[in-house]
Structure 1
Amino acid sequence: MSLKGIESGIEHGSMHGYRQHVMRGVPTRLECGCLQAWQAEQQTKAASGRGGASSAQLRWNNSERNGERGPDNEGTPVHRECPTAECGRVAIGAGPGHTGWVRVQVDGSREPARDFCSGSCASYGIALAELRMAVAVL
């Protein structure tokens, strides 16, 4: 049974209630308190300076916030299962070192240059490096 358009059963006055409004397509009203809960949540996120990212997301991305910086990624292994030995290793020398391998280095990223065995592994490395872009703190 679909709950689209059904207002009964919404937990008014909370973020959960606000999400129920959105999922059901029922407009929020000032009287129910859900809109105020959403506004308070947005203000809390803005005040924390995290831009809505959870602490786990910030750790994964090694984001710089409020002058803090995550650990260097030089010795951090790429967390992806690949059966090829040395896939995702920190780059050494001028080229990838193996024929057909791909070197990934993204300008502005705190992730060091790495060598990958194939295009699909390199795509993972590019995404990881983009997630760890140096973000200017305003």
Structure 2
Amino acid sequence: MSARRDFLLAAIQGQGPAARVSTASAARLMAASPWPTTGRNTARKDLGALVARGVLRVVETAGQHSYQLSTKEATTMVARTTPPEHGTMRGWRSHRRLKTPACEPCLTARREDGRAKEAARRASAGQQAWNQGMVGAPKLASTPRTEQCSVEGCGTAHADSVVAPQPGMVLVAVPGSREPVRWYCAGWCAVRGAALAEVRAIGGAA
């Protein structure tokens, strides 16, 4: 009996996910089965059993009863009959879900996905090592500074003084910069002057 009902279900599925069958049409579907003498009464019982199993549902139109694949069964059938997107992870998962051997494009997609995840994992581990176990952008230590140096001559243009205004001062020059070549105190003043010259070399305004 179970085999007969399974055959009937397969025959209904063969009509398409939206097809409707009556007891008469179900009996006709069984004509090509190992139970060719199945009549309408037997078909009605088998259809009712398939409804109870949850794979069919009853549809009533103008007082007439017919049977159709349940929403879940129809969705599963569409998923089984829809070709997977080969060469993608969705295609790989379709093979897994349908328990079919994965094709070479899907195997390649799976390997590439694995390599990408491994590279991301290593990059994350490297970032954490660089940040001493912390994630995210590293926090830079703030450096105390003064906006204007009190040392006389710091920031003097080289055009105004070809020699250092004070002992130990350094000359800061960035090729192509709109910032003039200047003398600065060694240390923070020279760093700030070099940064300013580099910004103005790329057209930035300061």
Flag the structure with more relative contact order, 1 or 2, with Cα contacts below 8 A and sequence separation at least 6: 1
Q: TM-score, normalised by structure 1?
A: 0.36
Radius of gyration: which is bigger? 2
Q: TM-score, normalised by structure 2?
A: 0.25
Query: Comparing both structures, which one devotes a greater share of its residues to helix?
Result: 2
